């Protein structure tokens, strides 16, 4: 039974899965759109929605919470700054639904379903 078990395994051990998802979240914050497979996109979308909801209120605790996912290095610091100064203010009056998944067709080679994960216009 899968009662109260959330998330997808994506065919990876937990440490590799978290590293993959963190990198995808960083890419979404940095480029505001990425192309990936459907399963990875859905998991990344969950994390991005949560992190933007957290960033809507600019407090020290929220900055530290987002820094956990975006990294503590120089790149992570610039992403945290971008998140709190550019991205989160766009969605100040929106209660959710900051991202959208658009199907873009099968991947050449293994025909995996590809999606484009992008931030919606604020």
Burial (Cβ within 10 Å: 0-12, 13-18, ≥19) of residue 73: exposed
**Per-residue model confidence (pLDDT) at position 72:** 82
User: Which residues face 117 on adjacent strands?
Assistant: 34, 101
- Structural domains counted in the chain: 1
Q: CATH number of the domain at 113, please.
A: 3.90.1030.10
Rounded Cα distance, 11 and 17, in Å: 8
**Per-residue model confidence (pLDDT) at position 82:** 96
In a domain, 7, yes or no: no
In a domain, 10, yes or no: no
Q: Which domain holds residue 84?
A: 15-119
The tens-digit pLDDT sequence of the chain (122 residues) is 989 988 899 999 999 999 999 999 999 999 999 999 999 999 999 999 999 999 999 999 999 999 998 988 899 999 999 999 999 999 999 999 999 999 999 999 999 999 999 999 86
């Amino acid at each position: 039974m899968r009662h109260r078990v959330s998330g997808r395994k994506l065919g990876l051990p937990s440490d590799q899965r978290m590293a993959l998802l963190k990198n995808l979240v960083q890419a979404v914050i940095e480029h505001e759109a990425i192309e990936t497979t459907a399963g990875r996109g859905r998991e990344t979308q969950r994390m991005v929605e949560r992190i933007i909801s957290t960033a809507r209120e600019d407090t020290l605790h929220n900055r530290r919470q987002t820094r956990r996912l975006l990294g503590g290095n120089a790149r992570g610091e610039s992403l945290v700054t971008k998140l709190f100064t550019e991205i989160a203010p766009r969605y100040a009056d929106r209660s959710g639904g900051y991202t959208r998944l658009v199907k873009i067709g099968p991947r050449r080679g293994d025909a995996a379903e590809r999606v484009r994960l992008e931030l919606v216009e604020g």
